[in-house]
A and B are shown apart, each in its own frame.
Chain A
Amino acid sequence: MTANEPNPLILLHDKDNVLACRRRVHAGETLLIDGVPIAVSSDIDVGHKLARIDLAAGDVVLKYGAPIGSITRPTRIGEHVHTHNMKSDYMAITTRQSTGEGAKS
């Protein structure tokens, strides 16, 4: 992150517990999360999310100030939040290889 660059992470709503990436961020890169420097543990692509705080299994994920699913396993601040540690509270999603799992219905 350079001096001129806007923070690569966007907070969409004060209540949110995830941040969205403006650009691809890289493993080991140090980013400011609420003013605290945090080293990112993996590469995370543009548009993807990372944790704003430490999250526990069952925590509801908030983005745009709205619930968008829940956490399935402990996730540290700065960690990528995606299908490996989060699920829908409405319906399963699918990948090219398989049907989804873990949704309520």
Chain B
Amino acid sequence: MMLGYQRSDGRKGIRNVIVVAYLVECAHHVARRIVDVSADMDVHLIGFPGCYPNEYSLRMMKSLCVHPNVGGVLIVSLGCEGFNREGLQAAVAVTGRPVDTLVIQERGGTASTIAAGAQAVAAMKASLAEVPRVPIGLEDLIIATVCGGSDGTSGLTANPAVGKCFDRLVALGSTCIFEETGELIGCEQIMAGRAVTPALGEAIQACVAKAAHYYTVMGYGSFAPGNADGGLTTQEEKSMGAYAKSGDSPISGVIKPGDIPPSNGLYLLDVVPDGEPRFGFPNINDNAEIAELIACGAHITLFTTGRGSVVGSAISPVIKICANPDTYKRMPDDMDIDAGRILNGDATLDEVGGEILAEIIAVAGGARSVSELLGHQEFILTYKSFEPVGPACLPVQARRA
């Protein structure tokens, strides 16, 4: 039986992490040093670099700091930045989690703030031991998926294997999230046909059209040079391969960063900002997407890679699934699952889907994923702007199991 951490909002976590959150780049070094000095793999660094306030980044930071995998929060502010530190602290305090804010300008500067931060983290660790442990099941879990460093094998092995795993998870009552509407360009009609209502189907098509417009304005699609080296020729070919991660379950709704899926089932995360393009690329790298999935409550992210990504994440473990057998041979220590065996005929999609499910259960039960053990805790958050989702996006309002 898996044991989780009971949170006051009813959600359950699979980790009990302390996050140290800096609110502007000027506070980054101090926050990082507090994490370093704490020397604990469950003390993680997150933060926002900008000095200008931004509604999206405040919402993201609030969602991340009250994520069920988080047990306590230390906020590190320089003092003069625009970030609403009082609002963030209040959002954490209302959940009953320990939270503290250190303002460097009021604490006497770098060295004294690092010392105060290290003390605050140590005090929080003691209170984290008191968080109630409760049984946690697959129906409590939100599992997300993302692909990075895709190649021609991604859509043959790892992505459809994740799709098989997602189908089993949805059948078992879990909540699953797939994303990156810019990497679904070309799949919009097929995807709309899987929506639980026609209006949701139209909303899905509108999301992808928004992504296509946004990327066209940016001048680059979601297609990196390595994708072509790996045999992918067009955005829509990459999309079809990426789309396979979603499996065959009906699509229950569309959410935006920071929205918690209202029911179990399969959800699409719309990551492309609303309105005219303002702040640059929707997600500047894979970790920006992972941070958004975690802000939607993801306990674990399934990361498929063909070329060989090495990343993990702060807050929620990443399970890496290697699509390409040659890549696996080159960097086996960075991969949790070897899906490339499917190409040699040594395993079927269903078998690898089952291996991924077993790994989810192990990691949810406390086993460390490879990227966790290697110390990967990447995190990035940049400026964006979103409107709330429309009523057609969430036709299923059933309470989570």
Which residue numbers of A lie inside 8 Å of B, CB to CB? 6, 10, 12, 20-23, 45-49, 61, 63-64, 66-69, 81-83, 86-96, 99, 105
Whether B225 and A88, one on each chain, are in contact in the complex, defined by CB atoms closer than 8 angstroms, is no
Q: Is B333 an interface residue (CB 8 A)?
A: no
CB neighbours of A68 from chain B (8 A)? 186, 233-234, 236-237, 240
* SS of B interface (majority): loop
The distance from the CB of A64 to the nearest CB of chain B, in whole angstroms, is 5
| Contact among B234, B235, B236, B306 for A47, CB-based, below 8 A | B306
Contact A69/B326 with A46-B153, A95-B228 known, Cβ cut-off 8 Å: no
Inter-chain contacts of B190 with A (CB < 8 A): 66
A70 CA to B126 CA in the complex, in Å?
61
B343 to chain A: closest residue by CB: A22
Contact flags (1/0) for B215-256 with A, using CB distance below 8 Å? 110011101010110111111110011001000000000000
B240 touches A64 (CB 8 A): yes
Contact A48 B234 (CB under 8 A): no
Do the beta carbons of B231 and A90 come within 8 Å of each other?
Answer: no
Name the residue among A64, A92, A105 with the largest chain B CB count within 10 angstroms.
A64
The answer to whether A48 and B228 have CB atoms under 8 Å apart is no
CB distance from B9 to the nearest CB of A (A): 40
Q: In whole angstroms, what is the CA distance A55 to B232 when docked?
A: 18
Q: Please tell me the number of chain B residues within 8 Å of chain A, measured between CB atoms.
A: 38
* Main SS at interface, chain A: loop
CB contacts (< 8 Å) of A81 on chain B: these are 233
Q: Scan residues 319-344 of chain B and give those whose CB is less than 8 A from a CB of chain A.
A: 324-326, 343-344
A64 to B230, CA, bound (A): 17
Evaluate contact between B345 and A69: CB separation under 8 angstroms.
no
Which residues from chain A contact B155 at a C-beta distance below 8 Å?
Answer: 64
B296 at the interface (CB under 8 A from A): no
B185 near A: Cβ within 8 Å?
Answer: yes
B186 touching A46, Cβ below 8 Å = no
Residue contact A63 to B237, C-beta cutoff 8 Å = yes
